[in-house]
A and B are shown apart, each in its own frame.
Chain A
Amino acid sequence: MSAPLKQFQDDFILALYGAGDAIPQLASLSGQPGFAIYRNTVIKGCIDTLAANFPTVQRLVGEQWFRSAALVYVRTTPPSAVSMMEYGEDFPQFLAQFPPAAELPYLAGVARLDRFWIEAHIAADDTRLDAAVLGALAPQVLAQTVLRPRASTYWQWFAQYPAYTIWSVNRAQTEMPGDLAWVAEGALLTRRDGVVCWQPLDFPACVLLDACAAGLTLENAASQAAAAAPAQDIAQTLALLLTAGAFSAT
């Protein structure tokens, strides 16, 4: 008698991840040379996907280190979505806690930016807000307006290391400047005309985007940004974000 289908599938997955010898019903399959093809395809497929999804991380650490780290992640974290671009959603957090990466504290931030690139690439289509539309509003109306970041707009402030510079230099496959300043940095990614674009972002701009995303009026969002950097002209910060196409027209 063959085992019911559900049991077969439970057992097959266990065997795929190395527990095959403990499952007598499946030993006749997992002992065959052909079983390794399924194992290799699944594990190698997941590692190849991580390499494709996190190219900058791989460039920084080298292929061998990357694939070793990816194997540890892959063995405990099968994909949950069939769209493999989504695989590795929590790979940045994994790297942040991965002991061999302890000497590379910026690696998780770089992974986060690789992840942002994918999110921006596949985000829903929307229209960027034109600065002229805001310019035409009466001051009272403008103050009460809520600006919404576009679906493809991603940003983050890295308080402890220059993750943006390290990421952007390696993403563009250029050489790291010899005099890299070890300072905090922010990053902004957004899609313009189908192409993911990126630029550095200062702290008040990150605060302004956070506040807008939280649904605050422009007046309140600008106050929060001003509080973060009293010397800064927040109108210029807003202009920079509008030029970058960070906000949605709808």
Chain B
Amino acid sequence: MDNRLGAGLGLKPQHYDEALACSAGGLWFEVHPENYMVAGGPRLAWLETIRQRHPLALHGVSLSLAADVAPDEAHLRKLAQLVRRFQPTLVSEHLAWSAWNGNYYPDLLPVPRSGEALLRIAANIARTQDALGCRIAIENPTHYLHMDQHAWSEVDFLTELTRRTGCGLLTDVNNIFISAHNLQFDAAAYIDSLPAAAIMEIHLAGYSEDADIGAALLIDSHDAPVAPAVWDLYRRLVERIGARPTLIERDDHLPDFSVLLAERGQAQDILDLQGASHERAA
């Protein structure tokens, strides 16, 4: 494992001063590059200062790799500028689409895992990696819909994308837990079948129940602590594949920085334990 990247946190403007000053071992921060695609001003200066003290990851939410169109060249140029300027340790995007016919729909929309989609997405990932000059990690999405259009299982589809493009994977354990619950598949079996060597990063987050139909439908809301069942799956994954940079995502009902830091400490403890056991095994 890269010793510098242990457990990280999504960077929130409200926590800027504490985030800057924090010296916890293995800490790193992740931001959405879209929030920094601006001409100038204090945001970029602020990120520059953070970057001088901490490793940084860029986690895109809108490149729309699964849309049936090549990635937007202006978007790629802006992303490449950020990559050059901030030298992120990790760059990631989603197996999803959000831009279509010149409009942007702020969500991660689902795609049928067909042979046609595989070709398109592989080409889009390859174009992105060429434009950025680096390998990117692709995140498994949260699922809310049963889709009979799928021709591939998600793990096979993601594995094939890594094989064709050399990209890595960002494994979001919370997304797997929610999807398994909503679509009624075995989350542990999914976790166990992921290609270990391709996993560059892991995400953890909290979920909530749908306001209308309750616990039958879980939502990837990032507004609560990581659930115990998700921690269990995380431990299971890390025990199998070894330590990987792990991020706690929290976007809503934001607690104090110290609370997030403590939650992130739980992930760091698991990583440290795993790192130690791997050293013993070696």
Check A33 against B210 for contact (C-beta < 8 Å): yes
Taken together as a complex, chains A and B put the C-alpha atoms of A217 and B38 apart, in Å, by 31
Closest to B67 in A: A9
Task: Chain A residues near B217: list those with CB within 8 A.
Answer: 33-34, 37
Asked if A13 meets B102 with Cβ closer than 8 Å, knowing A5-B117, A45-B107, the reply is no
B interface residues, how many (CB within 8 angstroms): 48
Q: Could you write out 23 A-B pairs with CB less than 8 Å apart?
A: A2-B112, A2-B149, A5-B116, A8-B149, A9-B67, A10-B100, A10-B101, A13-B103, A36-B212, A37-B217, A38-B107, A46-B106, A78-B103, A79-B106, A80-B102, A83-B38, A123-B40, A123-B41, A124-B40, A191-B41, A194-B41, A194-B42, A195-B42
Determine whether A12 belongs to the interface, using a CB cutoff of 8 Å to chain B: yes
Q: A4-B116, A34-B144 are in contact. Are A83 and B37 (CB under 8 A)?
A: yes
A226 to chain B, nearest CB (A): 34
Residues of B within 8 A of A (CB): 34-35, 37-43, 45, 62, 67-68, 75, 97-107, 109-112, 114, 116-117, 120, 143-149, 151, 182, 210, 212-213, 216-217, 219
**How long is the Cα–Cα vector from A32 to B182 in the complex, in angstroms?**
11
Q: Is the CB of B39 within 8 A of A124?
A: yes
The complex places the Cα of A74 from the Cα of B209 at a distance, in Å, of 26
A49 within 8 A of B: yes
Contact A83 B151 (CB under 8 A): no
**A28-B148, A35-B144, A122-B43 known; A42-B68 Cβ under 8 A:** no
**In the bound complex, what is the Cα–Cα distance between A94 and B120 (angstroms)?**
38
Please tell me the size bucket of the interface on A.
Answer: 35 or more
Q: Does A115 contact B (CB under 8 A)?
A: no
Taking the nearest CB of chain A, how far is it from the CB of B93, in angstroms? Answer: 12
Q: How far is the CA of A61 from the CA of B98 in the complex (A)?
A: 31
Give residues 127-160 of A contacting B (CB, 8 Å): 151-152
B103 contacts A84, C-beta separation under 8 Å: no
B residues less than 8 Å from A32 (CB atoms): 144-146
Q: Which residues, 177 to 225 on A, are CB-close (under 8 Å) to B?
A: 191, 194-195
18 extra interchain contacts, Cβ-Cβ under 8 A, other than A2-B114, A191-B41?
A2-B149, A3-B149, A5-B111, A5-B116, A5-B120, A6-B68, A9-B97, A13-B103, A13-B105, A34-B144, A36-B212, A41-B106, A45-B107, A79-B105, A80-B104, A82-B98, A85-B38, A123-B39
